[in-house]
Structure formats: C-alpha cells, structure tokens
Amino acid sequence: MAAASASALRSGVNSKLCLFAHLVIFAWYLFTLNANCAIADSGRHPGTRSYGGRWKYLTFINLVMQTVFFGLCVVTDLIQMALPRKRSDSSFLVTARDFFFTGLAFPVGTFVFASFWSIYTYDRELVFPKVLDDIIPTWLNHAMHTVILPLLLVEMFLQHHKHPSRSRGILALALFASLYLAWVLWVRHASGIWVYPIMAHLSPAGLVVFLSVASLSMAPLYLLGEKLNRVIWGPTEKEEEMKNQRNDHLQTTESRTRSFTSTDKMLQ
C-alpha cells in the first residue's frame, strides 16, 4: 500500500508538465544531434571520415538513443492526454517506454557520463584529444557527455518507470553491450583502427581487462537505476507484498513460540 500511495503522490504531477518537460528535453536532444551531425558532415572530425563513421562511437549511439527515448515519451504523453480513459500502466507504449528507460537509456547514458569523465580526468588524450577542442565546441562536448546524466535524473523524478524483471532488464543490457563490443572489434578487424585512443595504448591482456570491466560495469548501473527508483518512488507492489508476507510469517512464528513457551511453563 505504501508503494501505491507513493506512486499516486508522484503521479499527481500534472500530465501537461510532463509533456512540457519531455518536449523541451526532446528538442534539446534534436538540437544537439543536429549539431553533432553537422560537424560529422563537414568532414572536420577525423574519426567520422574513417570506417564506421560516427556510428562507431558509443557517445553518438547514446545521443540517438536518448533522442528516441524522449521522443517516445512525448508520443506517450500526447496519447495519454488524448485518451485519458484508456490510460494504463500495462499499455504497450508505457511498457515500451519504461523498458527503454530502465534497461537502456539510464544505464547506457550513465555509463557514457562516468566512463568518459573518468578517463578524461586521468588523461584526456586517451578519450578526447586536445585537437578536438577546435572541432567540437565545449557546449557540445558537455551536451554529449555531461548533461545526459542530469536529464536522466530529471526523468526519474518526473515519472515512475516500472522495472522489468531483473533478469530481463540485465539480459537486454548485456545484449546491447555484447553487440557494441562486437561492433568495436569488427571496426578494428575491418579497418585496423581502434574506436578510442585508449585501446591503442593497451597490451592484449590490458585490452581484455578493459573491455571486460567496461562491459560488466553495465549491470551495476542497471541495479543503481533500480535502487534510485525504489528510493524515489518507494518499493514496488510485489516487494511490498513480499515484505508483508515476511512480517506475517514472523508474527506467526513469534506467536507460536510464545504459545509453546506458555505450554512448557504450565507443564512444569
């Protein structure tokens, strides 16, 4: 019941406010995506002229992913406002939106933020060489690598997103990570280049460790999203039900224990 109350309280956020926020964020991502593509099309960025173009960069893939996600949010909001009587948490669009956010948009976006700035702080030449400062404006760099996390947190506070089963969510994320890893290795095989400078500086063993850690770190980020969702919105109905069942079991056990104790005292 606590979960339902918390959810009801949060869902009281005006649907028009949700739509407005989603429209603003969607427009921001369209603007950012257009700016990124303009640089790529100009041929100034050396990486976009090589095999795979801009699609070999996780930053760009994530940018497209966030744009598609917030576009889906706008469509879902509009349909729910137009058909208020048919609102349902089990509707196809809402289910797709929630799965997209919890399984891909949040963990991948958070990974891009954390991995980029961690490596950049250690040695920027390994991930964003100084020469790129003359090609990619500072605002665009932050739009692609910094602003993504605050916007994801805004979305998490703005709307409740139901997580799928943990196995399904992590499986979807693992599939994405595996496909991207395979793509990175294929780019290396087909063109002889590494997507990111850091990979060229690592030994074969170091590369295996780096790619393994990068891939495996996705799962904790999924769990982080799950934890934050629980903190903001409270436990799910299923978790609340399991908690009540445990409490009932404990109360029953304690009652039986007291009953047995009383019986033993009477026999003595």
Instruction: Give one DSSP letter per residue of 174-189, joined into a string.
Output: HHHHHHHHHHHHHHHH
Q: Which pLDDT value is given to residue 48?
A: 83
- Element spanning 243, H or E: helix 237-267
Contact 163, 102 (CB under 8 A): yes
pLDDT of residue 40: 79
pLDDT for the residue 147:
98
pLDDT at 87: 57
For the entire predicted model, the pTM comes to 0.82
Three-state secondary structure call for residue 120 = helix
* pLDDT score for 125: 94
Q: What is the pLDDT of residue 57?
A: 96
pLDDT for the residue 82: 84
Distance CA 112, CA 196 (A): 13
Burial of 57 (C-beta count, 10 Å sphere; 0-12/13-18/19+): buried
The per-residue pLDDT for 9 is 46
Report how far residue 30's alpha carbon sits from residue 17's, in angstroms, rounded to the nearest whole number.
Answer: 20
pLDDT at 265: 62
Residue segments in the chain with a per-residue pLDDT below the cut of 50: 1-10, 12, 89-90
Distance CA 127, CA 143 (A): 16
